[in-house]
A and B are shown apart, each in its own frame.
Chain A
Amino acid sequence: MQIHLSLQQKWILRGLGCLSLLGFVGLPAQALTPDEAGHLLRRVAFGPQVATVQALLPLTRTQAVEKLINETRSQSVSALPSLPVLEKKRQRQNEAQTQKNQRERNAQSQQLKAWWLQEMLVTPSPLTETMTLFWHNHFTSSLKKVKSPTLMAKQNQLLRRYALGSFADLLQAISCDPAMLRYLDGAVNRKAKPNENFARELLELFTLGEGHYQEADIKAAARAFSGWSLDPNGQAVFKTKQHDQGNKTFMGQTGPWRGEDIIRIILAQPRTGEYLAFQLWKSLISPNPNPTLVKRWGAEFARNQYQIKPLLKTILTSDAFWAERGSLIKSPIELTVGSFRSLGLPPDAEGLVLTSRQLGQDLFNPPNVKGWPGGPNWIDSRTLVARQQFLTRLVEMRPTLNPVLNLSLLPLAPSPASDLSELLLDQRYQLK
């Protein structure tokens, strides 16, 4: 498909190019170029759309970042499907019941995935979904283990509510989130029989990172979190009798700690802010975080009571962020959802449930507690071909390509050809 530019449009584009040149040499006009708007949107908004690029073009970098952050939501725009509570598994249930339950659970899981994809496809606040997905990959839980679409839906709403809120609050809330209690066995962590699964991942993957705690800290934290359980309705309950009330020594501090104390102590460690800044760097900037900046941003994050918005603003307005182009590989979700959004195709959430799984990212089912390994792992000989097949199908849907998009879809020079098929099958389209 060819794009026909009118003479007028060509002059506009040439004008935009001049503006960018002015910005580059440091003159007062600092409005974003289409390439810069594209960079920001590719990283945090599932890619550029005609309207969003146009809205950002008159703004400076800081203004554009502020606009995106200020417009975020904490709830979905799409209504959550009703997921009737599945019958509880009984000791002696017959085969027909077991099969029926399994079928219903599969149907609900499908609905749940389609709902989130729909939200990503239509939301006016893609940054919210980008961050919700970030937290889903950070505080992992999976349908395969939790076996309850209802609890996974609740966890997803929790992640969205705090996605750009307070990390401290999110951490407290996730520690007694029902899906998490089931995923990391918090619900069977009792005084008489402590289960260390949640305590270990809390320290290793959620907050401090390997090498910044001792085995004894895991044991102490497991005892402090003992007593949480799920009632028959899937609500989290704290059973004082199952809680170990004795003194524990955690990170050098001794007391009759409960879970919330452990989190308070963790949040007082400088490592926690740095670890989160490190993870966000890898997700938003490049595979190689700068240790000095990570340390500075971590400290700032802690000083701001772990408010996520100021940290995001620091990251997205940094020179490090703006110096990057194409150093990250799009995840299957970013590639599929982003293509639909950028090209203005009618949302097909149910179709994307299957496609995203084939490309290696089955929503609500990260492969293990570490989440999707991502980066180069997204692309191997099979998924590369599958990505191309998906993009070829999109081309066959004959979307029109607006010239503004043409300048903002791909990272890295040189400019793409004006043919949509060539543009989508350009190797750079796999990058962000």
Chain B
Amino acid sequence: MNRSEFLRLSGLGLISLCLDPLVILNALAADHAQVPVLVLIELQGGNDGLNTLIPYNQPAYYKLRPQLALPKSEILPLSAELGLHPALQALKPLWQRKQMAWALGVGYSQPNRSHFRSIEIWDSASQADEYLEHGWLGRVLPQLPANSRSLADGILLGETSAGPLNSLALRTLALNAKGRLPRSVSRPVNSSQMPESLHHIQRVEATLNQGARELNQRLSQAGTLPVKMPDTPLGRQLGQVAMLIRAGIQSPVYKLTHGGFDTHRQQDGIHGRLLRELAEALGAFHQALEPQGHWQRTLVMTYSEFGRRVAENASGGTDHGTASPQLILGGRVKGGLYGQQPQLEDLVNQDLRHHVDFRSLYQTIARRWWGLKPFWPESQIPVLNFI
């Protein structure tokens, strides 16, 4: 990314027209470079995309889901084809403001229906038959300017796996349940022999303790949020992220998990509750970031290891499937529907065909959100226009 691109992304493009960019960049580096932030929410267990963004005019939807189909009258229409699950009501205002995008039919070739393998594919951005050891962000974030990630490359909240941030190239910090960073207490060594293994431990410890100092200090000065966050695990975690973003913490990525989507049985009540928690937490998150313009530099994206089977099962639930839609929110998002909705009459092994390779989401973030060079050839993995 060049300097002007970075400034544009930083929401400071206008000022940079009047001032020498170098002056601004130095000022940013000094304290509060407004790094474009990515908030990743893993919908753990495989979210039922068909009951999230509902093809409410396709008869096959009602035919294949006699118990689970939502009545047409309750669905919140976004287009003539697709509408939101009513539990997502709290997000409707963002659609009206054109700050909500959906990528449709996201998946990959040769879909794997194992939770752990499929999320590994998503986390590492590998092919279905390829094993990559590290998360995709490990190949992207080192290209960002160092001052935009001076505290950490990424911050994990809750009981989440490092997933896309799992990489030796990254400095990743994990907050505890109280939203604070625990300190490392080990006894430093100054040995005449310093093998690489010891250097590694000392680097991790330095990141941790520097991070803890700065983060805890900034948080103590940050004041309170202008809204009350929902008292759910996701609500509390998004509240912590909002605090950190408002406090000017230099970390380009936050990763959270919203769990419980493996709805093989009695899906109806469970899935509705999970979506309501998601929508209400994100609605409040938006309000917490709106006042000082932080929403303009925040991008939220969901992902999930797979969608679910089109036809419901005999237990009032759905089994592991393939493609599903993903939600993208943010002040600079171009609201709308992207990609192509899979057809319910055109199934492969009873599952949806994917139309958008999941790596297109990553490619779009790298190119358009952070202004980096393409991660894969754009002819193979095209950018979507949601930013």
A427 touches B168 (CB 8 A): no
Judged by a CB distance under 8 angstroms, whether A393 is at the interface is no
Given A380-B172, A425-B185, A385-B201 contact (CB < 8 Å)? no
In this complex, how many residues of chain B approach chain A with their Cβ under 8 Å: the count is 41
Residue numbers in B under 8 Å from A382 (CB-CB): 156, 162, 174
Cα distance, A388 to B182, chains bound together (Å): 11
Judge whether B200 and A329 touch: CB under 8 Å: yes
Q: A414's closest neighbor in chain B, by CB?
A: B191
Q: What is the chain B residue whose CB lies nearest that of A426? A: B187
Asked if A384 and B184 sit within 8 Å, CB to CB, the answer is yes
Cα of A430 to Cα of B184 in the assembled complex, Å: 13
Contact among A144, A287, A384, A427 for B198, CB-based, below 8 A: A427
Instruction: State in angstroms the CA–CA spacing of A94 and B131 once bound together.
Output: 36
Please report the total number of A residues contacting B with Cβ < 8 Å: 38
Q: Which of B115, B120, B133 has the most CB of A within 10 A?
A: B133
Given contacts A380-B162, A385-B184, contact A428 B192 (CB under 8 A): no
B196 A327 Cβ-Cβ under 8 A: yes
CB contact list, B154-187 vs A, under 8 A:
156, 162, 168, 171-174, 182-187
Which residues 194-233 of B sit at the A interface, judged by CB distance below 8 A? 195-198, 200-202, 204-205, 207-208, 211
Return chain A residues, CB-CB under 8 Å to B171: 381
Q: B204 — which chain A residues lie within 8 A by C-beta? A: 379-381, 384
With A92-B314, A95-B265, A384-B204 in contact, is A370–B131 under 8 Å at CB?
yes
- Answer yes or no: B117 CB below 8 A from chain A CBs: yes
Inter-chain contact B200/A426, CB cutoff 8 Å: no
Query: Which residue on B lies nearest to A327, using beta carbons?
Result: B195
Measured between alpha carbons, how far is A287 from B197 in the docked complex, in Å?
Answer: 9
Instruction: Give A381 to B170 CA distance when docked, in angstroms.
Output: 11
Question: What are the residues of chain A within 8 A of B314 when measuring CB–CB?
Answer: 92
The answer to whether B187 and A381 have CB atoms under 8 Å apart is: no
For the complex, give the distance between the alpha carbons of A414 and B188 in Å: 12
Does A17 belong to the interface (CB within 8 Å)? no
Instruction: How many A-B residue pairs have C-beta atoms within 8 angstroms? Tell me.
Output: 110
Q: Are B200 and A388 in contact (CB under 8 A)?
A: no
User: Once the chains bind, are B197 and A376 in contact (CB under 8 Å)?
Assistant: yes
What string of 1s and 0s marks CB contacts (under 8 Å) between A358-374 and chain B?
Answer: 00000000011110010
Contact B174–A370 (Cβ < 8 Å): no
Interface residues of A in 375-432 (CB under 8 A from B): 375-377, 379-382, 384-385, 388, 392, 412-414, 422, 425-428, 430-431
A380 cross-chain contacts in B, Cβ below 8 A: 162, 172, 204
Q: Give CA–CA (A427, B201) in the complex, Å.
A: 7
* A428 in contact with B156 (CB, 8 Å): no
Determine if A234 is an interface residue (Cβ-Cβ < 8 Å): no
Is A384 a contact of B133 with CB atoms below 8 Å? no
Q: Which residue of B lies closest to A382 (CB)?
A: B174
Assuming the contacts A381-B173, A381-B204, A384-B204, asked whether A428 and B168 have C-beta atoms less than 8 A apart, the reply is no
Partner of A427, one of B173, B188, B315: B188
Contact yes or no, A431 B197, CB < 8 A: yes
Residues of A within 8 A of B120 (CB): 367-368
State the CA gap A170–B258 with chains docked (Å): 43
